Structure 1
């Protein structure tokens, strides 16, 4: 039987860097919220242990694909090598989230695989264990596995659940792919933001310190951002390239969406405090 699973986008409502570890990872303070928009994975449980991504992503080898990595990691954790009872999976990815867009597409896909296969394979692992496995894949994976809007610290793995206003967003997608490493390696990136409590950060205007670096190297990011700023508070998500404007109502967001110029790719989405992935999991378990 094939099951359909959402892999939602996330946005960083603010992002500050408070330092850098000796291993090169940056110390963050950021606020994650999910969107009701994202990729979709269709997963069929198979026998014999083989994991297949039926439609590989262009430019990404199977070895480097986070979907395959996540499935194999879960499989190794739950079954011994050469165990004849080891299940496999055929996975079809419906990809709509841009690569290098700051919306967490690859991390979300990996998290969905961990959560979905844990259910379909009957692994019985807790969310805490799945989160620990997800962190091995990437720093953004844990928030998708846990499935609640969160204030994140450390390298992004120290998560405090939060309840946020679920606003509407107009997301603009500049035609560039920004590698996180290109932003974090820039010498002009501000890495000394003052460490603040969540209450302090919630009481000031939200900012993303990566935005200035991204605009410097990718003019289209600034072009899209300047257009959005004419209509609503706007900023970049993650390390880019996507930028978003926030609105109190769907109607307000769609009114601006209808005015977007022909050179701008964009979509409207609602912020969500509970991930669509976990809503799907709850329905499956009923």
Structure 2
């Protein structure tokens, strides 16, 4: 049996870091939004685990990545419950989402593999159990198990989901410069900039509909921007150039390095393509939780394979 898996990635429509906790993690407040952009994963049953990456920016250790971690954690937890019936899988991954870009590409891969294995084995884990497993893989993973639009608190695992079908009408432009910023580096840069909770908390904590969301864009920010832009002026230059096209919202996503812009339509896309030609750019749309549920996993036939076996 063979499967085609789409791990949809995300942008952060809003992101603040409220404080550093006693356990060393940071308390955040963010508004996650899934986008119609994904790595391509093909999976098939095999005698032993195997994982190969294609199209990636740099070599990826097959035993040190979010897909392997998710696979290992799921397998160990499954065998504790069942003690038999395990079938190994091989995975072929075409990397499209850049690493260190703030788009959650690695976390999306890991979360979607957990979803896939839970489906394949007949849902041995309830939603909350799977969420706990995903949190071991990465802080973004609990959101990326479901996707859509969600307010994230804690380290990102305390989630409040919003169903906003009209959000798919918006258009998203993303530029990911050839610049890898680790989460650790971004937090180190931010250490001098930590502040208290802000007024946008009340804006995004209220009932969120399409018009309310669009009207709130003008209040949204990413707390990492000032610190990261100071260290990497190229990113500030990119955002300044994007702002000339009057987007509804333009921010750095996550801890960087991608900069995105949201528009009502595709009117400026050709100009943006010319302006940032030679860079890694994406044109996409937001995607809802219901669409992700329908589209993230498909059974495929041998002739439908896209990647080398």
User: CA 1:116–1:184 in structure 2 vs 1: closer, same or farther (change >3 Å)?
Assistant: same
Question: Is the contact made by 1:170 and 1:269 (CA closer than 8 Å) also made in structure 2?
Answer: yes
1:239 and 2:255 correspond: yes
Q: Tell me the CA shift for residue 265 of structure 1.
A: 2.2
Matched, 1:258 2:273: yes
**For residues 18 and 262 of structure 1, do their structure 2 counterparts lie closer, same or farther at Cα, with a shift above 3 Å needed?**
same
1:246 to partner: Cα distance: 0.8
In 2, Cα distance between equivalents of 1:37 and 1:246: 15
5 Å-filtered alignment, 1:104-253, equals: 104-164=104-164, 165-166=167-168, 167-186=170-189, 187-194=191-198, 196-197=201-202, 198-199=204-205, 203=216, 205-231=219-245, 232=247, 233-249=249-265, 251-253=266-268
The TM-score with structure 1 as length reference comes to 0.89
Q: Hey, what's the Cα distance between the residues in 1 that align with 2:125 and 2:109?
A: 18
1:92 aligns with 2:108: no
Q: Distance in 1 between matches of 2:2 and 2:268?
A: 35
Partner of 1:101: 101
Q: Which moved more, 1:179-188 or 1:275-284?
A: 275-284
What residue is the counterpart of 1:269 in the other structure? 284
Partners of 1:172 and 1:148 in 2: how far apart? 21
Alpha-carbon distance, 1:92 to partner: 0.6
The CA deviation at 1:163 is 3.0
RMSD: 2.4
Gaps of 5+ in 1: none
Cα distance change of structure 1 residues 240 and 208 upon mapping to structure 2, 3 Å threshold? same
Q: Deviations over 1:234-253 (max 9, x none)?
A: 1111000000111012x225
* In 2: Cα distance, 1:29 partner to 1:36 partner: 23
**Structure 2 residue runs without a partner (length 5+):** 300-309
Normalising by structure 2, we get a TM-score of 0.83
* TM-fit CA distance, 1:84: 5.9
Q: Could you tell me whether the CA contact under 8 Å between 1:51 and 1:72 is conserved in 2?
A: no
CA contact (8 A) 2:171 2:264 kept: yes
**Shift of residue 273, structure 1, vs aligned partner:** 2.2
Mapping for residues 57-96 of structure 1, pairs under 5 Å: 58-80=58-80, 85-96=85-96
Q: Please tell me whether the aligned partners of residues 45 and 87 of structure 2 are also in contact (alpha carbons under 8 angstroms).
A: yes
1:199-218 deviations in Å (ceiling 9; x for gaps): 46964511001011111111
Give the distance between the partners of 1:81 and 1:116, measured in 2 at CA.
18
Bigger Cα displacement from structure 2, 130-139 vs 184-193:
184-193
